[in-house]
Amino acid sequence: MLDLNKVAFLLSFLASVGLGQGSVRIRNPSDRSRRVALNKFIDTQTMGVTEWTSWFNIDHPGGNGDYERLEAIRFYYRERVCARPTAMEARTTDWVAAADTGEVVHSSLEKGFWCINKEQLHGNICSNYHVRFQCPPGSCHGSGPVHSYWTDWSEWGPCSTTVCDDVGIQVRQRKCVNTQPTPLLLVQACQGHHSERRECSNPPCTAKWSPWGLWGACSVTCGGGRRTRRRTCVRTSETVQCNGRPVEIQKCGKKPCKAKCQRVCTEGRPTEDCSRCVCEGHVLNGVVHSVTGVPVAGALVALASQPKAIRARTDAKGKFKLPGVCSSTSTLISIRKEKFAPITVSSSSNTTGLSSVQAVLMSAEKPYIVKHPEDKVRYEGGRVLMCCKATGSPKPDKYYWYHNGTLLDRKTYKYEEDLVLRDLKQEHSGHYYCKTSSSAGSIKSSPALLTVLTTGTPACNSTPEMHLVKLPMDCVQPGTRSKYYNAGRCPHNKCAGSLDFDMRCRDGGGFCCGVQNMESQVIDCGRYSLPIRAVTQCSCQKCVEPTVLVRGRVVTADNDEPLRFGHIYIGKERVGTTGYQGSFTLQITPDTKRLVVNFVDPTQKCIDTPKVFIFDKKGGSIYHDVKVMRKQTPIDINAGETNSINLGEIEGEDPIGQLVIPPNSFHKENGDIYEGTVKASVTFIDPRNITTAAAAPGDLNFVDDEGDMLPLRTYGMFSVDFRDETNKEVLGAGAVQVLLDTQHVKMQEHIPKMKLWSLNPDTGVWEEESDFSYTATNTGGRSKREERTFLIGNMEIRERRLFNLDVPENRRCYVKVRAYMSEKFLPTEQLEGVVISLINLEPKPGYSANPRAWGRFDSVITGPNGACLPAFCDAQRPDAYTAYVTAMMGGEELDAAPSSPKMNPNIIGVSQPYLDKLDYQRSDHEDPAMKKTAFRVNLAKPSQNNLDETNGPIYPYQSLIGCENAPVDANHFRFFRVEKDKYEYNVVPFEENDLTTWTGDYLSWWPNPQEFRACFIKVKIHGQREVMVRSRNFGGSHRETKGKLYGIRDIRSTRDMREANTSAACVEFKCSGMLFDQAEVDRSLISVLPQGNCRRTGTNSLLQEYLIKHPPVPQNNESHAFTMLAPVDPLGHNYGIYTVTDQNPRVAKEIAIGRCFDGTSDGFSREMKSDSGVALTFSCPERKITRESLFQRLQTNPGQTLSQMARDMRESAGMQVQGQATQVVAYPSEQRGRTQSRRASSTTRRRVPSRTQQRQ
């Protein structure tokens, strides 16, 4: 029977699960009123073998909703529902489970099920539900209802003991509930106990202090007293106590009590704080003006002893009054105003008892770094000093140090201007820079790299890195056929050497990885061999300190007239003078980071022009072609009237703006108003004229509030010069207005950001003068009066005289450019030290304004991996910004990759389709007569979603590292050097554009890295063709070098355009002199060999005489060459020898070549003059052709030639059959010789001698 009951129950359970779609919700019994998401609700506490009631539906969803209350169901159906249901199921009358209706419903095993209409979404009403309950077996459906049951256990009662650290008893209870009176019970009452007990315990006894109370009042106000504060002991038992005192006493009122004032005033009385004397009724009169005499209105005046207490302000005339200041003693007065440097001056008194003060305010200058931190290398556990120093007006007073962009805590590192790091660890490695600030602004230094090596790590890698040396043209290595040889080199990076003192700002010369060992190796060139000194080991050694030079020439922008004897300033110090031809040379200190040079014309014909020069820290001499603007001719204006001066004088174009000077605005240096005629010269650098770009002062950068240097885009610069009627005294002007015509601002987004700037001539940085505001005015145009919109800015003309109409521009990119030795564009022939210049051109071509207007220029020096130039770019319009790019090396312009007659991506260096978007055009693209030394390109910002534009040559501004490290096969623009075939080979490899690669060796071509002596000999060639001339240079007299090769020089002769069939070559040779040990002179043995059918026909008589008088004299029996021991003396053009000594090898060679071309000892030319200054003369006639080649015979007599070839082939075939001889091909002897090298067989070729020889 029991088994049948189990089966019946199991079937009913499975049926109920099927009806409920298998969704069972497990509920916590304490959660009796949560919202329903599933169909069934089960009481886990009573769940076991159960059975279901029938379905009940006692309510309908009308009114407030559908309520299936358990109490009402029991009222209607009496004993059909058990006392404690264990689960409930709800469904609609359409048999949809409650969980599937999407309605908000509620349920509880004590209350039942209900659904409220107002809780439903979108105004819906509840469905009509019916419910059923799950009960224990036998509790319903005829088995008899349950009339008694236990309630839930109550919570545990309190512990019977309240004493800490004691044990007691806890009790909980439950009740037996009867649904009928006890006499009617048909079943036994509740089974079990109605109460339970358990052991409990209290925590250990504790005692602790409460928080301290507030400090009480001090017992005294001065002279020293006491104050107290209290706390209480909070404990759980009398048996424990708190440790410590409940009362704390502190000293207070330490300020000394006010003593009787001891100040003795000869005049007046002491002030209440006894800080000074006050004279009632006495007034100090003062006046404040600028350097140029312009009154300074609105300046704040205070006593220096109380600078925050403002006592007066200057009026419109710069005057102020301070009452109560005594005249018997000098009083320090503090004066300050925005955009001026604060000043402290002392008052003065006269015999009448009147006090006065006169102050001159100078313009405030933003901070400028004059000492930057240096790169350093240290070992773990060591220490290092990083230095930073800035200047400015006022002087910077706050310094902050950053490590990898994170501010260092001042309290931890205790730094000011200098940063000291001790007990160095690996985590100290990284970049450090300082930031300094004053009331005028902030500036950041350049970053310095600190490298911390672990103990035991070699200072530098002893294994040399690969360095391929190009071999002579006639040197081909057998087997590899390579034209290069790996000579190795040491990376010239800093290393941790043994410093005599490690706490200097700059580690003296410092230590760098250099050559430790070299070995002599022999290069097999097939027909001959070449010696070479290869690097085999590197080590940490003293760095080679090259001399860093900046050279150039200063000329006017309009007609290239040289600025003769112009003054050259670096900062406020005069460092030199330009020469008669405007040339200059500056030697730069090794710690220079930014070079600002100001050129001043002492005749006042040209405007003062500050320039920011780039330079090569590796010792390469950089040449700068400097343009200066000629001053506009002064005009006479009346100082008592309103005067307007136009800015911009382009023919056929309206001025860009105007300078408006109110009446009585001019002042003398003493502050007096100037009345009379003013000589006014306003020179405007108009960006619509691209030729003025090179004459623009500064480098168009400004420093923002964070101290970062950012670029500007200019709409014009102007220089002002106002003088009195005698043209002697310089005048200042106040409240001058600058009007900018908005029609010339083609990019409307620039108008709100437009500002007026002035140039700091010492730093080359533009500093903000004022903002612009809008105004509309009627002005006379070229054809009629029309209303124009102007931007108005206000300024005062003080000590600065260069101004700029600029906007900060954030649409920036980088342009990748490389320079090569030739148009072959070989990766191994890249040129370093080339100055690449980029001029931003805008607006977009096709605008009504001149499309060649420029907005910015930048210059960068190429390194081992080219150069990345900053530029403005635009992502929306590819041609919104364009650029004009040039390259110069030592005063020589390089050619750009050609764009015509057909665009070749492989030559230009940029792949399609990006090349079409950039619209690359060389300067001769449309006019072949134009120079080929520049190219123009659209600056289209690359799209990161376009794969073709992610490989250069334009890089986003955030991708500078990607641009600098781009592989050589990535897109880039190209320049190449146009010169005759030229080759240089040194036995000891040396890169002339990087003087740090110099190695001290007896066979070094240049024996001294600080002084370079270049020697050339001029060779004249008679002949129809230009020929290669070689010099072979050996040691001649020194015991270490005698008979050993120094190097080889090849150069192709240059045609003399004035003389037919004549050319000449300037051939470099190894100068005689001391070697690197400075112990003994070596007279180099030189052989000059023209390569070809040449014969020496003449030798300079003076040179011949000199060589005879300075024996030994080498034999010159060979007519095709010339051999000599190089002269020790610096002979001149009369001997055909050209010698120049300079601190840079490239410059020395350029000067010597220029003199050699010119045939003089002091001239310079790029056109060969073969009739002057010649040392050797050779005749190089062309070889006469004595027989026709196969192709010539095919052209002159094709039929006979083909017949003869057929006969020769038949005869050759017959000979092969008879004698098994080698196959014979009927090529002429010249071609046969070339063909033999390609054939696998090395057997002897034969030729039928009969008719072939007769024909020849």
The top-scoring range by mean pLDDT among 4-13, 16-25, 94-103, 343-352 is 94-103
pLDDT at res. 669: 81
Averaged pLDDT for residues 1193-1211: 75
For 117-127, what is each residue's pLDDT tens digit? Answer: 989 888 889 99
Task: Give residue 1175's pLDDT.
Answer: 94
Of the listed ranges 194-203, 346-355, 463-472, 705-714, the least confidently predicted one is 346-355
Spatial contact of 209 and 233, defined as CB atoms under 8 Å apart = yes
- Separation of alpha carbons 721 and 601, rounded Å: 13
**Two tokens at 407?**
């501010």
pLDDT of residue 353: 64
CB 320, CB 301: distance < 8 Å: yes
Q: What is the pLDDT of residue 1186?
A: 60
What is the tens place of the pLDDT at every residue in 591-603?
Answer: 888 889 999 999 9
| Alpha carbon distance 1090, 1070 (integer Å) | 17
Structure tokens at 370: 């004059």
Lowest mean per-residue pLDDT among 726-730, 775-779, 796-800, 904-908: 775-779
Angle at 415 (CA atoms; ends 411, 416), nearest 5 degrees: 125
pLDDT of residue 651 exceeding 80, the answer is: no
Residue 568: the pLDDT is 93
What backbone phi and psi angles, to 5 degrees, belong to 300?
Answer: -90, 130
Q: What band does 145 get if pLDDT is binned at 50, 70 and 90? A: low
- Alpha carbon distances (Å) from 1115 to 1018, 1096, 1107: 20, 14, 12
Q: Which amino acid is at 1146?
A: R
Given a contact cutoff of 8 angstroms between Cβ atoms, the answer to whether 469 and 983 are in contact is no
Tell me the β-bridge partners of 345: 333
Closest by CA position to 53, among listed 37, 31, 29, 73? 73
Whether the link from the prior residue into 905 is cis, omega within 30° of 0, is no
pLDDT in tens, 358-399: 888 888 888 999 899 988 888 899 899 999 999 988 889 889
Q: What is the dihedral of CA 637, 639, 640, 642, to 10 degrees?
A: 60
pLDDT, residue 1191, reads: 67
Question: What is the 8-class DSSP label of residue 1191?
Answer: H
Res. 189 pLDDT band, cuts 50 70 90: low
From 766-775, 778-787, 911-920, the region with the lowest mean pLDDT: 778-787
Report d(CA 817, CA 963) in Å as an integer: 10
137 pLDDT band (50/70/90 cuts)?
low
b/e code 391-428 from CB counts within 10 Å (16+ = b): bbbbebeebbbbbeeeebeeeeeebeebbebeebeeeb
- pLDDT mean over 62-81: 84
pTM of the entire predicted model: 0.66
Q: Is the dihedral of CA 570, 571, 577, 581 positive or negative?
A: positive
Among 732, 720, 737, residue whose Cα is nearest residue 662: 737
Q: What is the pLDDT of residues 897-951, one digit of tens each?
A: 998 888 889 999 998 888 888 889 898 888 888 888 899 998 888 888 888 888 8
Reported as a pLDDT band with limits 50, 70 and 90, residue 280 is confident
Q: Which residues pair with 552 in a beta bridge?
A: 584, 624
Residue 248 confidence (pLDDT): 92
d(CA 607, CA 610): 10
pLDDT of 729 above 60: yes
Q: Nearest-CA neighbor of 368 among 756, 759, 718?
A: 759
Strands 1028-1034 and 1012-1022, sheet pairing: unpaired
- Best CA proximity match to 575, nearest among 586, 565, 564: 586
- pLDDT digits over 1138-1188, tens only? 999 887 788 888 889 889 999 998 888 878 999 999 999 999 988 765 666
Task: Sheet with 105-108: list strands edge to edge.
Answer: 65-69, 112-116, 105-108
Q: Give the model's confidence band at 788: pLDDT under 50 very low, under 70 low, under 90 confident, else very high.
A: low
3 state SS of 1098 = strand
> For residue 868, what pLDDT band results from cuts at 50, 70 and 90?
very high
Look at residue 1212 in the predicted model and tell me its pLDDT.
63
Residues 6 or more apart whose CB falls under 8 angstroms from that of 186 comprise 144, 147
Residues facing 365 on adjacent strands: 393
> What's the mean pLDDT in 547-558?
87
Whole-angstrom distance, CA of residue 903 vs CA of residue 915 = 9
Cβ atoms 145, 139 nearer than 8 A: yes
Q: List % helix, strand, coil for the chain (3-state, nearest 5).
A: 15, 40, 50
What residues contact 153, with CB distance under 8 A and at least 6 apart? Answer: 172, 173, 174, 196
End-to-end CA distance of the chain: 133
CB 1030 within 8 A of CB 1049: yes
pLDDT higher than 90, residue 431 = yes
Residue 254, CA atoms < 13 Å, CB-side half-sphere: 3
Rounded Cα–Cα distance for residues 440 and 365 (Å): 6
Which range among 312-316, 512-516, 667-671, 795-799 shows the weakest confidence by mean pLDDT? 795-799
Name the DSSP letter for residue 35.
B
Q: What value does the mean pLDDT take over residues 746-771?
A: 83
Give the percent of the chain with pLDDT over 90.
22
- Residue 49, pLDDT above cutoff 70: no
Cβ contact 834:808 at 8 Å: no
Tell me what pLDDT residue 1033 has. 95
Q: How far apart are CA 565 and CA 550, in angstroms?
A: 17
What pLDDT is stored for residue 103 in this prediction? 92
The mean pLDDT of the chain is 81
pLDDT at 475: 86
The answer to which of 83-87, 92-96, 580-584, 616-620 has the lowest mean pLDDT is 616-620
Which pLDDT belongs to residue 363?
84
Question: Looking at the chain, how many residues does it have?
Answer: 1256
What is the arithmetic mean of pLDDT over 267-273? 79
Lowest mean pLDDT among 424-438, 804-818, 897-911: 804-818
pLDDT at 13 over 70: no
Which range of 252-256, 1016-1020, 1116-1120 scores highest in mean pLDDT? It is: 1016-1020
| pLDDT value at residue 1214 | 57
pLDDT for the residue 1240: 35
What are the tens digits of pLDDT across the range 1010-1039?
788 999 999 999 998 889 999 999 999 898
Mean pLDDT for the stretch of residues 1079-1091: 90
Q: What are the start-end ranges of the H helices in 1197-1249?
A: 1198-1219, 1229-1236
Count the neighbouring beta carbons within 10 Å of the beta carbon of residue 108: 17
Residue 854, pLDDT above cutoff 80: no
- pLDDT value at position 833? 82
DSSP labels for 730-746?
A: B-EEEEEEEEEEGGG--
Q: Amino acid identity of 655?
A: P
Which pLDDT score, from 0 to 100, does residue 139 have?
A: 58
pLDDT-above-70 percentage for the chain: 87
